[in-house]
Amino acid sequence: MTSSDRANLLEKGAEPRPPTPSKKPAITTKKLALSISGVFVLYVLHDALQERAFRQPGFRFGWFMTLIEIVVVSACAFMFEWGAPPDPTIVSEDAMRTIRMCVGGLALCLATSQGTGSAALNYVHYPVKVAFKSSKLVPTMIFGILLTRKTFSFLEYGAALLMCCSLAGLSLADRRASSDEEAENLPLGVMLLMTAVFADALVPNLQEKCLKELKYPVGRMIVYSNAGCAALVLLYCSATGELSMALKWCASNTEGSAFLFLQACTSYMGLRCYLVVVKELSGVAGVVTTSLRKVVTLILSFFLFEKPFTAG
């Protein structure tokens, strides 16, 4: 618009309109539905492969399984979606300091959650692990109030608490159906799972803060958080001697090694679908989706693998 045109508009009492900023297109319902379906299908397959790996003769390396999964997730994220650094006009220097703290917290929480959760399978049966991991909805709500200032109704808390109450019955059934040695180790498995649940409850809230509030690119968040997590788990595996024992086991068991690699690949694909749900809806919505998925995992686990609960 020239100066003469602007003068003519002002004489007529009209003012030039400022340019309308372009809006980011909203996610389609179809894409969100596909992401939720992907969470169900991919994580059910991941859990089946994980349980199959633990049924391989001589495999008792939960932390090593976590290490393989994290390394594969980090490598895939780096290859396929590293992307450009965050726009400095959108992400300020103060925000970057907060992002670094969030990503560091994510690395620690992921290492604790996945490592203790996998290690617990040495002491409890798979359905007990799935049920405990599903109970993270309550601490996720609590951390959501503290970190992202969300509010929930008493009905939502009541539904989450009813979910948690089922854990007592399932753990009791596991204890009665187990041998004496397994029953003695059950409390240790439960303690590991409780640690995993509380660490896992922080993860979606930190992810939501990074993606929605701080506008950090999802690919970089995955790479940095999982790389830090891999370093922590590698340090633990090396210090305990699990790394050398697990590598010897992999060298003599190609089928088991394939299960480990495939479950890590499905974990990455499921994670991408899950993060779409977290980014577009909320961290609690992501937890609800994965909790519903775990119901399917429990049912299929009883059909695919014999359990002491159902053994005749």
How far, in Å, CA of 91 to CA of 216, rounded? 8
The pLDDT assigned to 270 comes to 86
Q: Residue 206: which pLDDT band, with cuts at 50, 70 and 90?
A: confident
Q: Which segment of 20-24, 184-188, 230-234 scores lowest on mean pLDDT?
A: 20-24
Instruction: Give the pLDDT of residue 165.
Output: 67
pLDDT confidence band for 306 (50 / 70 / 90): low
Cα distance between the two ends of the chain: 84
In the predicted structure, residue 21 carries a pLDDT above the cut 50: no
What's the CA gap between 83 and 285, in Å, rounded? 26
What pLDDT, on a 0 to 100 scale, did the predictor assign at position 10?
46
Mean of the per-residue pLDDT values of the chain: 76
One-letter amino acid of 295: V
pLDDT for the residue numbered 34: 86
Residue 215, C-beta contacts closer than 8 angstroms, at least 6 positions apart: 86, 90, 91, 95
| pLDDT tens digits, one per residue of 59-95 | 888 889 989 988 998 888 888 877 666 666 666 777 7
State pLDDT tens for residues 259-269: 999 999 998 89
pLDDT in tens, 110-119: 889 888 888 8
pLDDT, mean of residues 133-142 = 70
Percentage with pLDDT > 70 across the chain: 68
Surface-to-core class of residue 106, CB atoms within 10 Å of its CB (0-12 exposed, 13-18 middle, 19+ buried): buried
Q: What is the pLDDT of residues 141-179, one digit of tens each?
A: 777 777 667 777 777 777 677 766 665 555 555 555 555
pLDDT for 250 equals 92
| Single pTM value for the model | 0.65
DSSP track, 10-57: HHTT--PPPPPPPPPPPPPHHHHHHHHHHHHHHHHHHHHHHHHHHTST
Predicted pLDDT of residue 266: 92
Q: Is the pLDDT of residue 120 over 90?
A: no
What average pLDDT does the segment 208-229 reach? 83
Reported as a pLDDT band with limits 50, 70 and 90, residue 200 is: confident
What pLDDT does residue 1 have? 53
